[in-house]
Amino acid sequence: MRIALVSGTIILILSLIVNMILQYIMGASRTEDEILSVLIIILIHTSFALGALIYLIKKKK
């Protein structure tokens, strides 16, 4: 369970860092669309982390 949480968090942090770097390179200012894209990325990664958790819990039973 911890592995899934840790890997999900690491993926989330990495994606946010990559997103920030891309925004810095493109010189983009924070608009509503970019905030929405960040939120979508967060939702995708949390769903992956939850899926991994559920899989591990079912595997233990």
pTM for the full model?
0.43
> Could you tell me the residue ranges of all domains in the chain?
2-60
Nearest to 52 by CA among 11, 5, 12, 9: 5
In the chain, the percentage of residues whose pLDDT exceeds 90 is 0
- Hey, what are 43's tokens? 């939702």
pLDDT at 31: 67
pLDDT for position 28: 57
40-52 pLDDT, tens digit each: 777 887 778 777 7
User: Other C-beta atoms within 10 Å of 17: how many?
Assistant: 10
Q: Render the chain in DSSP notation, one character per residue.
A: -HHHHHHHHHHHHHHHHHHHHHHHHHT----HHHHHHHHHHHHHHHHHHHHHHHHHHHHH-
